[in-house]
Structure 1
Amino acid sequence: MTDFSVANFRDYQEYVRSFTIIEDFRYLPGHKTVTTLAKLGYREHRTFYEEDEFHNAKKQVEQLLNPTVSAIVEYSLYFKGTDQALRALAEREHLNIQQEISTIIFLEISGKSGFAKSGYIDFESSLRNFRFKGPNAVDWRAVFEERKLLRPQQTDIVYYDWRTRRIYTNDNDNYTVVAHAEYGLMFTHKGDHKNIPVTTKKNPFSANVTRYQIKSDLYGFIILYDHHVRKKT
């Protein structure tokens, strides 16, 4: 169990002093004796940490209260296969977590009915949703281990069911879905407000994205749209 109380102390000396009272210094022979009493639990009913234990506990609390990118598990570490699509995603995971790039995955999968289901998946958002056990989360560890296939879902930023001819669009915290009158489907990145087109037709927004079509033994073909996120100044 994490001991959050250690976050209240600037250093180990302050932590040790928190176990003592003024009378200790009046009636006891020295600081060492005072500390020994604190260690033996005569002052408060809480665990007394040795110095190394204190620093380890404080570091654990700080990581929980102020999570950093370096503390995040990357599921691509579990990729040991040869599939080119998964390899491409593995190469992009860290950059997406750091929000240096934002990758949209286009994927089409044939269903049991013979009709396809296709979708545009926000890679970073999907990774984060799994990390925090959100609704309809993709098990990215299982995907990279090739135990499960990545599949489009109605909760993705765009999903199309070819059997019912129904299309679902979902804005999320990274993107707004846009139907442009001339250039078709686009995604506007909420961080830098750049439009990300999916068409191969030359257009004023083409420079905002790099498109990669990748042949995959598992998925047939997938298309990756990489947008280099412009940082605010």
Structure 2
Amino acid sequence: MPSDVEYSPVGEGLGMRDYWLYVWLRRAAVIAAHVTGLGLTLIISLLSRPGTSEWTDGCWETHPADQNTSLFSWHPVCMSVAYCLCMTEGILLFSAEGSPFCFKSRKCKVRLHWFCQALVLIAAATGLGFMLASKNVSELPHLVTWHSWLGISTLAATVLQAACGICLIFPKLLRLSSSPLRLKLYHATCGLLVYLLATVTVVSAMFSDWFQATVKGVAWWGFLLLPLFPALVVMNQITNAYLPRKKITS
């Protein structure tokens, strides 16, 4: 079946030396994105101290072992696992450079992608549950910050994107008129928008009272920039794979 979307080749029009430099730079960027996503998740988990303390009135309050542990402290852990780790890995595994799954077949990558996205939904829903429970216990109002509204929007967009993925897997069963290639293009484009929305949500969390009280000074600025790097790598990967080829005439 002829393709209605032509994919742009990587490194087209470059000399051999420039091509290899381009490939190695892309490979280093993808590896750095893997490390950044994993590192950010681990650091946020350590800063949150899940199950050992409660954020109350602008300070950390440590609970004895025989008392109920914190509910809020699990929220940043679950959300970082969902979006900084699982969603990032679920997209980067399709990268040809620097991905630990580059030797796997396309079918295997799709299955791993679905597994990662399922973990995203589970971890995000769990993190939302901990936040709601923490607000209810503390008798605090819901949806009063930009971060909370962005978080709800990101979670809703993630659910819709998962539904789009189901349409991509079962187009005949759902009697969709669009071609599979066009559905893949829509799915990838919407997935990029969801990832960028998730990145904005993660960045907004760093302006919260909890994070600014936990991380200060130069380290805070470093954390503010960290989520942006994987987002740039993901955006570059998707645009290189799905951007229609343009003929260049000299």
Structure-1-length-normalised TM-score: 0.25
Q: Judging by fraction of residues, say which structure has more strand.
A: 1
Q: Quick one: higher RCO (CA 8 Å, sep 6+), 1 or 2?
A: 2
Q: Judging by fraction of residues, say which structure has more helix.
A: 2
Larger C-alpha radius of gyration, 1 or 2? 1
